[in-house]
A and B are shown apart, each in its own frame.
Chain A
Amino acid sequence: MTTTATAPQGTAGVSARARITAVPDGRGGTALPLLSGGGPVALRRTRSADPSAARVTLVGAMSAPLRGDRLAVEVRAEAGAALRVDGSAATLALPGRTAEPARYDVRLEAGEGGLLHWLPEPLISVSGSDLRQQLRAELAPGARLVVRDEQVLGRTGEEPGRLSSRLTVRRAGRPLLDQQLDFGPGAPGWDGGAALGGHRAVGQLLVVDPAWDREPPRARVLGETAVVTPLAGPAVLVTALAPDALQLRRVLDSALTFTSW
């Protein structure tokens, strides 16, 4: 547990860091020598459908991040380890007492032959909230990665808060994907016809697989507002817009058929 209440109520938020490290257990499975929750980010080791992989679930309907909070999650799948991290409930970005935005930083690392799934539940940007989210992944050349990132702009019928989300993936030290999305009050043009065009749920599903170094999958249109695109490296990105979280998940799930692993 690495929670620190940084200041009395009303001035600043919570600062917390959760960490997971996965290593091969030497018997064809994956061990978790480090599993440390922090503040509102609680972790549970859960039953894995894949015997070679460990599974960790981010539990609890997180009533965070609030404005002013600083949350971080660090996940490492070392060489040869297989780890799946998922979530039990959506994360709500909520207004807080301060004008400071909340920060949520996710750092993913996968070593040679490592396999990492990062599959949290959606983030819901509640009216009046302000969240700066950053996900950075560093991959060894032979690592595989699946990342799902879903954002819902406002609860039903409300305007969203301010949400800024950057997804940066580097492989073998070179940039593979770098995308930033900005929504809500103070982000000009966020709902215009080049960006969201009135949709309230946006999602990305990234799959990195070195097996595609030789022949990447082709681009594929998945309807009016979703597409599968091969990146300039061995990876595909699914980008989808939908009216709501449920329909968004349906599209992203349909695209997960890319991987048998």
Chain B
Amino acid sequence: MSVATLLLLADGRFPAGGHAHSGGVEAAVRAGRVQDAASLEEFCRSRLHTAGLTSAALASAAAAGHDPLALDEAADARTPSPALRRTARRLGRQLMRAARATWPDPELDALAAARPKGAHQPVVLGLVARSAGLGPLEAAHAAAYESVGGAATAAVRLLGLDPLDATAVLARLAAETDEVARQAEAASSKAVEDLPAASAPLLEITAEQHATWSVRLFAS
């Protein structure tokens, strides 16, 4: 396993389009649920242990060699909101495009052909990790970190939060982020139907509200 490869995949500068999405923070800011570093931390914690765990388990299972199409179907069942399904597929397609140029692999080509509009992003992320020579635990780390990293960055732009405060939030969540990745990896050898399905009711609800806004800073 190459640590540099993991850092590259998890780097926010990796050209996969994630910067255009707030992970639900934009809607949470509008509703007043995220207003400062403390409430951002609570938001990120709840995101990490729900949607983050579910994503990390899907990514880890894809890296472990589970059928990506079965995982894609499992991701659909875990995502009631059509707005979130659209977002996950759009991000999956963008990641797929960048990854096929970076780590060419017939497994990526096969998934891209089977899901031309994009597979769910965590499934693509796990398969990309596999193509890059990373294992199920590394894939889980990348997904768990991403489940809070993008949200914290978005809060800086939305609230004018001090970037140092937002980074400190991520640092305080580091141990929990690692723990979620370990949980996800431990589950990744299970049957697809037994993977974690932790859900975040407010993310599902507010994603549909956000999708109806005419003016917004982020795509989701």
Contacts and interface: CB of A to CB of B under 8 A. Distances in A.
Nearest to B72: A232
Contacts of B204: 227, 229, 239
Interface of B: 24, 28, 31, 33-34, 39, 42-51, 73-74, 76-83, 85, 176, 193, 196-205, 208-209, 211-212
Residue of B45, B82, B202, B211 with most partner-chain A CB within 10 A: B202
Given A192-B45, A232-B85, A166 B212 contact: no
A228 B33 CA distance: 22
Contacts of B82: 219, 229-230
A243 interface: no
A140 interface: no
A226 interface: yes
Contact of A193 (B39, B83, B85): B39
B197 A178 contact: yes
7 contacts: A178-B197, A188-B45, A189-B42, A190-B49, A193-B39, A230-B82, A232-B79
Q: What 5 A-B pairs have minimum CB-CB distances, sorted nearest first?
A: A192-B46, A189-B46, A193-B33, A193-B43, A175-B77
A192 B85 contact: no
Contacts of A220: 208
Contacts of A231: 76-77, 80
A182 B202 contact: no
A189 B47 contact: yes
Chain A interface residue bracket vs B? 35 or more
A193 B197 contact: no
A49 interface: no
A177 B76 CA distance: 8
Contacts of B49: 182, 187-190
Contact of B208 (A192, A193, A195, A221): A221
**What does DSSP make chain B's interface, helix, strand, loop or mixed?**
helix
Contact of A177 (B77, B196, B202, B205): B77
A224 B31 contact: yes
A59 interface: no
Contacts of B193: 168, 170, 175, 178
Interface string A147-179: 000000000000000000010111000111111
A194 B208 contact: no
Nearest to A226: B205
A192 B80 contact: no
B167 to A, nearest CB: 19
Given A176-B77, A193-B46, A239 B205 contact: yes
A74 interface: no
A232 B80 CA distance: 8
